[in-house]
Chain A
Amino acid sequence: MDFQQLWAAALGEIELSISRANFITWFKNTSIQSIDDGCATITTPNGFAKEWIEKKCSDIVLQALRNHDKSITRIHCTLSPQPQRAPQSIDAVTQKRTGNSTISTILKKAPQRSIQQQKQPIQQAKNIQQKPTAKTTPPYNTCLNPRYTFSNFVVGQHNELAHAACRTVSESLGTVYNPLFIYGDVGLGKTHILQSIGNAVVSADPTKRVLYTSSERFTSELIDSIHNNTISDFKKFYQTIDLLIIDDVQFLAGKEKTQDEFFHIFNFLYQKNKQIIISSDRPPHAIATLEDRLRSRFEGGMIADISQPDFETRVAILQKKADEKDIILPEDAARYIARNVASNIRELEGALNKVVAICTFQQKIPSRAVVEEILAPTIVNRRPARSASSVIDIVAQHFNITPDDIIGKVRKKTIVRPRQIAMFLLREELTYSYPEIGAHCGGRDHTTVIHACRKIEKELIADAALKDTIDTLKRKLHTL
């Protein structure tokens, strides 16, 4: 057993005998430096950890070490050795690059241990701690949150396609829909459904290597690896994965080098029929500055969207969450919340949490009246008074024309279309009557308005771009 294994094993035992906070605070970044003549020398990152280990828990540490190596009789702590302070190479002076405006670019960066390296011992300790015998535990972090599973995911009309696709993918990795691209607005459950796939795969077959990561993390790992000259390790690691889940891929936009590396990893995994799942807040073609070759690959698999849940689904979600929290939420209270919090599921959960917290605290039953009282202030805020003119302004702004154009008489196509959309929104969002809408839009006849609304309604069924536009406008209206 080498020092690293010995220390990992000892840490596993130490963790059981002290509190978690203490364990993380004091044993992070520690290791065994040497064992000499029965004295184990432990390196600590700072003087406080050294004092703590030596003075407060040397018995526990010694006992844990002796369980694995009887020859150890004493322990001793020392601070981690400092990196060498060798004089720096001075290639920069001579270069004297003209026009560099920061010192950083001239001065070379000092050698620094990578974060991953430092985290290693504790990570190992954790793995041993969780499943001491299971050889199958992957020796890396899948980054999955076990809280997200299919069983607590509420399926409604808004997400049934995405759900069905994810279900299928989790049952037959890499063969049916590859890559799977899920998109939808914030707080609608993308992360939940993505992680559910990962959790389902891991629980069905623990030997599968699953990795859930955000594109942001992917980028920073890539930068780290470039910086530490471990880019080949980075690639190798990603190439061993059976199921790669990348969340919020829109953040790759504009990062060319990252897109490049991602492209190669993507191709490699795809060639080997490994499953790739990607999520974003908009469809691939709407992500600006995403390279074409990546875009076409994303579009080559299955694309499923998650839209806003309808009223019935929102009620069902609330009931499910209430069940999880083990509280009784009367039907009319649930309806009240669902009706008033429409924009996304996270906010819905937030509203429910608030109700639950206050009701448990005040020992009340969350009846309709109580819920109304609790949520009234937030709901009032969320529903600003909207007027016909604000709707027209938003539509005009979106299409880059003036509100007067909408009200005016011009019948160019570029103006007629926004005008019709404005009428449609006035009908849908503000429930104005047809003559009223006509009056607001420059004194038009009510039949003109009826024609406009029907036209948009009809086109909405087939035209996805129009639907996107309407959704965007609605969102703008709600956040007015």
Chain B
Amino acid sequence: MALRFTCTKEHLDRALRYSTKALAKQSLLPIIQNVIISTENNILACAATNLDMGVRIEISGKIEEVGSVVIPPQLLNSFIASLDNGAQVTVSQVSDTDIAVESGSSRAVIKGYNPVDFPPIPQKENIYGEVTVQSDVFRSVLSRVMISVAKTEARPELTGVNIVFTDNTMRVAATDGFRLSESVAPIEAAAIQKDIDSIIVPASAIAEILYILSDSATKMIMMHISDGQIFFEVDGVTIVSRLISGTYPDYQQIIPQETATHIIVSRAECERVLRLADAFANNTTSDMKVTINPDESTCVISAMSQDRGENVTTLQVEAHGEVQEIYLNTRYVLDGISRCGSEKVRIAFSGAASPVVITPVAKSDDDERFLYLVMPIRK
């Protein structure tokens, strides 16, 4: 039982990059700050976990001997970073805990831990639901909502992304109590039992998948949902994460059904004006005043702070409905508008105390929907 394999620098580097993100930053158990590399069952794979999430990456390479090792990834990273592109790396176990790494004329010995103590990564079992989604669709809907995930732990269910599956769509939402993002997209195939159609996935797991998708050319991503856990499979990488228990707030009820006023505005222009307003807005509250006057087709955005100065911009917009005056957080509005992705955006108001809804004005054949909601600031 002494592991030995050879693979290219790129493959090993990719596996280490992915697994380093899932490492425990600090833990009672020092061993889980390391990665496990194993050639068992004739599969060369690298895995890491922080006990909330685990990731396992299959590496293509030539297996010479079967075994496993647990090593700190930083040293191995430094070693392969020094190699030329395309270099071949041979890793072999020299004792229970230590490995030797060789490539060309370099050789290194890295001290590690006994793999017996490494926690096993959970395996798929008791799967209740399986969903397949195109990876570019998955990436686009989730990266749109991630901005709204709560940053604090005060309400655990808001630290994740809510995914609701229906027959052929998935509805993804995140909120931190001040704003809400929701995106709906089609799914390729789904086999789900009804009682788990709504899940909350920790934001850290989603961030890891988005990172992997960002440099992968794969077409599809598979999700397997089991009791309290979810497995994502993409391009030889398996991510397992706990699901956040609890009920996601029924946010549909706060989306206003009727709007009093709406404007349609160019996204680029609106972003430009908001950035300017943000520069003048009060540093801590970031508030601005938005006044809509449909008779004159104007939207006036003004921001001021006691100690810095003030700024007023009048935008010519397509406006319908009543006159509105509302205070909003510039950054929150900017976050929403910049994620719309369309040329024009629609902003709907229903009074100074009601949430503002931002939606892209999409082409009719677009089957992905996005909605962003911001709560107003009370003056």
Q: Contact at B177–A85, with CB atoms within 8 Å?
A: no
**Interface flag for A107 (CB, 8 Å):** yes
Q: Contact at A106–B254, with CB atoms within 8 Å?
A: yes
Q: Contact at B51–A112, with CB atoms within 8 Å?
A: no
Q: Complex Cα distance A324/B248, Å? A: 54
Question: Which A377-403 residues have a C-beta within 8 angstroms of B?
Answer: none
Question: Which B247-285 residues have a C-beta within 8 angstroms of A?
Answer: 247-251, 253-254
Interface, chain B (partner A; CB < 8 A)? 27-29, 49, 51-52, 54, 119-123, 155-157, 175, 177-180, 195, 198, 227-229, 240, 242-243, 245-251, 253-254, 351-353, 355, 373, 375-378
Interface centre among B179, B227, B240 (most CB of A within 10 A): B227
Q: Contact at B353–A90, with CB atoms within 8 Å?
A: no
Nearest Cβ distance between residue A76 and chain B, in whole angstroms? 12
**Interface flag for A73 (CB, 8 Å):** no
Q: Contact at A88–B377, with CB atoms within 8 Å?
A: no
Q: Nearest 6 A-B pairs (CB), nearest first?
A: A47-B122, A107-B249, A104-B177, A110-B247, A79-B228, A93-B253
Q: Complex Cα distance A84/B353, Å? A: 33
Q: Contact at A109–B155, with CB atoms within 8 Å?
A: yes
Q: Chain A residues with Cβ under 8 A from B52's Cβ?
A: 46
- Given A47-B240, A79-B229, A98-B353, verify A86-B28 contact (CB < 8 Å): no
Nearest Cβ distance between residue B351 and chain A, in whole angstroms? 8
Q: Contact at A24–B28, with CB atoms within 8 Å?
A: yes
**Interface flag for A204 (CB, 8 Å):** no
Closest to A104 in B: B177
Question: Which A1-50 residues have a C-beta within 8 angstroms of B?
Answer: 21-22, 24-25, 46-50
**Interface flag for A146 (CB, 8 Å):** no
21 of the cross-chain contacts (CB-CB < 8 Å) are A21-B29, A24-B28, A46-B51, A46-B52, A48-B54, A48-B121, A51-B122, A78-B227, A79-B227, A80-B228, A82-B245, A85-B195, A88-B250, A90-B250, A103-B175, A106-B253, A107-B251, A108-B249, A110-B246, A110-B247, A110-B249
Nearest Cβ distance between residue A270 and chain B, in whole angstroms? 35
Q: Contact at B228–A104, with CB atoms within 8 Å?
A: no
Known: A101-B376, A102-B178. 14 other contacts (CB 8 A): A46-B52, A46-B229, A47-B229, A47-B242, A48-B121, A50-B122, A55-B120, A82-B227, A88-B249, A92-B254, A93-B254, A100-B353, A100-B378, A104-B155
Q: Chain A residues with Cβ under 8 A from B29's Cβ?
A: 21-22, 25
Closest to B355 in A: A103
- Given A110-B157, A110-B249, verify A82-B120 contact (CB < 8 Å): no
Q: Chain B residues with Cβ under 8 A from A78's Cβ?
A: 227
**Interface flag for A364 (CB, 8 Å):** no
**Interface flag for A135 (CB, 8 Å):** no
Q: Chain A residues with Cβ under 8 A from B228's Cβ?
A: 46-47, 79-80, 82
Q: Complex Cα distance A49/B49, Å? A: 12
Count, A-B residue pairs, CB within 8 A: 116
A101 partner, pick from B121, B243, B375, beta carbons under 8 A: B375
Q: Chain B residues with Cβ under 8 A from A102's Cβ?
A: 177-178, 375
Closest to B52 in A: A46
Q: Complex Cα distance A47/B247, Å? A: 20
Q: Contact at A51–B250, with CB atoms within 8 Å?
A: no
- Given A101-B378, A103-B175, A112-B156, verify A85-B247 contact (CB < 8 Å): yes
- Given A47-B122, A85-B195, A102-B178, verify A92-B227 contact (CB < 8 Å): no
- Given A48-B54, A82-B245, A110-B249, verify A103-B119 contact (CB < 8 Å): no
Question: Which A35-73 residues have a C-beta within 8 angstroms of B?
Answer: 46-52, 55-56
Q: Contact at A99–B229, with CB atoms within 8 Å?
A: no
Nearest Cβ distance between residue A113 and chain B, in whole angstroms? 8
- Given A48-B119, A55-B120, verify A87-B177 contact (CB < 8 Å): no
Question: Which A99-136 residues have a C-beta within 8 angstroms of B?
Answer: 99-104, 106-112
Closest to B154 in A: A104
Q: Contact at B49–A48, with CB atoms within 8 Å?
A: yes
Q: Chain B residues with Cβ under 8 A from A109's Cβ?
A: 155, 249
Q: Contact at A48–B51, with CB atoms within 8 Å?
A: yes
Q: Contact at A85–B378, with CB atoms within 8 Å?
A: no
Q: Complex Cα distance A314/B121, Å? A: 54
- Given A46-B242, A102-B177, A111-B247, verify A51-B375 contact (CB < 8 Å): no
Q: Contact at A103–B353, with CB atoms within 8 Å?
A: no
Q: Complex Cα distance A99/B377, Å? A: 8
Q: Chain A residues with Cβ under 8 A from B49's Cβ?
A: 48
